[in-house]
Amino acid sequence: MHPGALAPPPDEDCLFVNAYRPARPSPAGKRPVMVWVHGGGFCSGAGATGWSEGSRLADREDAVVLTLNYRLGPLGFASDGAEGGALGLWDVITALEFARAALIEPLGGDVDAVTLFGESSGGVAVCALSASPAAAGLFSRAIIQSGPCVVDAPKGWGPGDPALGVAATRRVLGLLSVASLDEARSLDASSLQWAPVDMADPNFPGWWLDATFFPGLKPPAAYYLADPPKTHVRDFIIGTTSKDGTAAFYGRAPLDNVTGSDVYLRHLERAWGSAVAPRVAAHYALDNFGGDVAAAFIQADADHFLHCPSLAMARSLNREADRASGRWARRARRWWAWWAASAGAWDPRRLAAGAGGDARLPANCDAAVDLAVEAARPRDTPLDDPLPFACHGADVQFTFGNEAGPDGLSSDSPTPRHDCPYSQSGRRLSDAVLDYWGSFARGGRPVREGDADGGWRPGGGVRKLASDDDGGIATVDRFRAADCAFWASVDDEVAAALAVNWRQRAW
């Protein structure tokens, strides 16, 4: 990871696997195995954080839960052009091989029932490994949270033009006063970790996956999963949060509660180019968002970068299943999840006495999830008001059922933690998510008792995961259909504009 991240202090000695299992014997015999790949833009994060501590998930679902680390930033993704700069992904494969050989059976797990799941760049890694022959046989099910990989990913999240990755690597080498990666290997690892901090962006645009990872694939790798996809994984859950994307998370959205079409258009031009921006402004009209520039921009960004690519990937998997066998259940099953408002909105007002607690949440509970969303509030909004949406990364806490997470803002402690308790409805939502994920890991179907609407349909509508206060768990048909049709109509123009923007950066 790179220094300055909201995570424990960085250390090259990071290649660990953390294992959790229930203390009691399993009534079912061998336990399913769930392996977590953390997010962080491939430049920050860790497997062992407060949010992703695996004991509650393991105990409730009678599973073996593994969380792992992999090399990040220059240590994991630098490329000199001779080979793909994706050593971090090879670390994940090595961890899976190690778990299969030495961990799973001693812990009572089933080597034939391994689910790989991850969020953000961790989801991208899961997606990539689902298509790589190098990972075949190491897992059979995949859960991809906010990490689609059938289209060009946001900069730093996926493979692209190798020239960009090489240029970024040369920039790092220059900061280190060395001429090659061989020379850089002689330096102290901390030097490599600090180098990206001096750069405009710690993410590496254009790392790519060479033929040893994807045989026959020539860079630039625009797609991991082609259409039709080639994957060794049978069952998928694919999902996003309600206001997913990079705008709020990376601070690219307007920071004030500003209004005005001119301001809106300028933000759209910076994001998608001057040719497409007027059409984006017309489709995501300010009038539909109460004139709020930030709200409109965040929705457009979420649809373009994560909602629509994730839906496209899910549909592509189903089409391949139909072609391969005539029955989707034989080849691949995909289940679509969407985290609605309460998945990222810890509402202090719902924690009044008699409603799950007796104190307000500290403001840093929101900050621990998403710093930039805090800045996107109107300036006159009290800090103890809830976030109005489920931001990027808000699902992680609900995936593991934990109430304590890391927060590097308000403490000098190297691993600060803050309790962010659930409301009663929030706890019920998290328990439901744990049950869905555990059921999927056991048998490939996310089912649970008490689903009044008949449960989750494979290949059908989107399953909305929300607390009772926000409408509860339900199926949504034609999710973002008109918005995704719009982005499909401008896809080529947007791709060209983004390529120009990336090449103009100071790599």
- Please give the pLDDT value at position 240: 86
**Inside any domain, residue 452:** yes
Gap between the Cα atoms of 244 and 248, Å rounded: 8
- Please give the pLDDT value at position 122: 93
Provide the 10 A C-beta neighbour count for residue 481: 11
The DSSP code for 457 is P
Gap between the Cα atoms of 105 and 99, Å rounded: 9
For residues 56-71, one letter each, b for 16 or more C-beta atoms within 10 angstroms of the residue's C-beta and e for the rest, the string is bbbbbbbbbbbbbbbb
The DSSP code for 62 is T
- Locus of tokens 């593991």: 400
**Inside any domain, residue 312:** yes
Query: For each of the chain's 507 residues, which pLDDT tens digit applies?
Result: 444 444 455 566 789 999 999 999 998 899 999 999 999 888 788 898 878 999 999 999 999 999 999 988 777 877 777 766 788 999 999 999 999 999 999 999 999 999 999 998 899 899 889 888 889 999 999 999 988 876 544 444 455 556 666 777 777 788 888 888 888 888 887 777 666 554 445 445 555 566 667 665 554 444 456 555 678 888 888 888 887 876 655 556 665 556 689 989 998 998 888 999 999 999 999 999 888 888 889 889 889 888 888 888 877 776 655 554 433 333 445 566 655 433 333 222 222 222 232 222 233 333 222 222 222 333 333 333 344 467 788 888 889 998 765 543 333 444 444 566 777 878 888 899 999 999 999 999 888 887 877 677 776 677 878 777 666 787 777 888 899 999 999 988 887 776 655 555 444
**Inside any domain, residue 364:** no
**Inside any domain, residue 347:** no
**Which residues lie across from 464 on neighbouring strands?**
338, 474
3-state secondary structure of 463: strand
**Inside any domain, residue 8:** no
- Locus of tokens 């017309």: 282
- Please give the structure tokens belonging to residue 108: 């009572």
For residues 81-119, one letter each, b for 16 or more C-beta atoms within 10 angstroms of the residue's C-beta and e for the rest, the string is eeebbbbbbbbbbebbeebbeebbeebbbbbebbbbbbb
The DSSP code for 243 is B
pTM of this structure: 0.82
DSSP H helical ranges for 326-363: 328-331
Domain count, the chain: 1
461, 479 contact by CB (below 8 A): yes
Nearest CA-CA partner of 12 in 95, 91, 129: 91
Q: Which residues contact 244 (CB under 8 A, 6 or more apart)?
A: 146, 302, 305, 306, 307, 390, 391, 392
Residue 310 lies in domain: 17-255+299-340+393-506
- Please give the structure tokens belonging to residue 212: 């040893």
- Please give the structure tokens belonging to residue 263: 């301001």
- Please give the pLDDT value at position 207: 56
Q: In this structure, what is the dihedral angle of CA atoms 165, 274, 486, 490, given to the nearest 10 degrees?
A: -60
**Inside any domain, residue 497:** yes
- Please give the pLDDT value at position 258: 63
**Inside any domain, residue 157:** yes
CATH number, domain containing residue 124: 3.40.50.1820
**Inside any domain, residue 48:** yes
For residues 329-354, one letter each, b for 16 or more C-beta atoms within 10 angstroms of the residue's C-beta and e for the rest, the string is eebbbbbbbbbbbbbbbbbbebbeee
Gap between the Cα atoms of 8 and 431, Å rounded: 27
